Amino acid sequence: MARLRPGYTVNVLGETVTQDSILISSGIRPLRERGHAANCVVARGDWRALNGEEAASLFGGGFQAPAQSLSLLDLGQDLLAESHHTLLPFLASGGARPGPSLAEALRSFQSKVTRSLRERYGVTAETTGAADMIVHQPDQASTAFNPGAGEFLGLHIDTHQRLPFGERTGAMTLCSVNVGFADRYLDFVNLPVSSLLRHLAGRGIAEPESSSALKDAFFTEFPDYPVLRLVLRPGQAYLCVTQNTIHDGATNHDGVPDVSFLTLHRLAQAVPRVPAVAGTP
């Protein structure tokens, strides 16, 4: 397995969150199942705990701004209970129920997530974008779905804002909250787009024309580069600039539906008030 190279710092914040929530796999494998893109790849799945060198690489740099990091945060059981009271009933009713509409409920919950980030961690949203609630079935190795093609993408880089590669550090940050009843996962590579391009250039490969082509080129050259897994428990959230990161979701093996609340923000470059929790492997 290739060694981790310098890249993103992982910020671990909150009373229930530890560095043990990050696992590592030895690279990627193709996923050729029906309903998946022809170039779909996912982590190999040979997950293990980080060793000391790997942990030092990911956690040793102190808190970094959102464009240079991923963050795992605990938003609290009160917010989780609020999501079960205000959001999940729409799933049981097919989206129609008395009272506020689903869109109104999503915006209301979005404001509570934004307030929790600010009050708990000092992370402030300068602007706020779309909000949504997504449901997936258990036992899915990929959750990134292309509705136009009707297929799952596997590990990929988002392109919502259609930014050139040189501007990806300024893309909006995705906040994903696990509002379900079982663990879910974020699989990712710890290298931002600029690092992916630099590693390809080192092998004489020109800059690819698209995010999809960049992902394909990187994994063609570095199929054994480690894929990391962030374990997200109910009530926890992650912050990730997904337009600057190879990533994908995966769901639980407990047989229950997976439910995520997603919201986009442009975050201020602030240091949170809560220090990282101890627990280096």
Print pLDDT tens along the chain (281 aa): 789 999 999 998 887 889 999 999 999 999 998 899 999 999 999 999 999 999 999 996 566 777 789 999 999 999 999 999 999 999 876 655 656 789 999 999 999 999 999 988 888 888 999 999 999 999 999 999 998 889 999 999 999 999 999 999 999 999 999 999 999 999 999 999 999 999 999 999 999 999 999 999 999 999 999 999 999 999 999 999 999 999 999 999 999 999 999 999 998 865 555 544 444 33
The confidence score (pLDDT) of residue 277 equals 43
Helix, strand and coil percent figures for the chain, each rounded to 5: 30, 30, 40
Nearest-angstrom CA–CA distance, 249 and 192: 17
- Sheet of 22-25, strands arranged across: 48-49, 22-25, 227-232, 184-192, 245-250
CA dihedral angle for residue 144, residue 242, residue 82, residue 103, rounded to 10 degrees: -70
Which amino acid, 270? Answer: A
The confidence score (pLDDT) of residue 232 equals 97
Q: What is the DSSP string of 4-35?
A: PPS--EEEEESTT--GGGEEEES-EEE---TT
Nearest-angstrom CA–CA distance, 178 and 231: 10
Distances (CA, A) of 6 to 3, 43, 248, 276: 10, 20, 21, 19
Exposure b/e, 260-275, CB count within 10 A at least 16 = b: bbbbbbebeeeebebe
Question: What CATH class does 9-267 carry?
Answer: mainly beta
> Taking the model in full, what pTM does it have?
0.92
Residue 185 β-bridge partners = 231, 250
SS3 84: helix
Where helices occur in the chain by DSSP H, the ranges are 52-59, 77-86, 88-92, 102-121, 193-201, 211-221
- Residue 265 dihedral angles phi and psi, to the nearest 5°: -140, 150
Tokens of 243: 């337009």
Sequence length of the chain is 281
Chain centroid to CA 247:
6
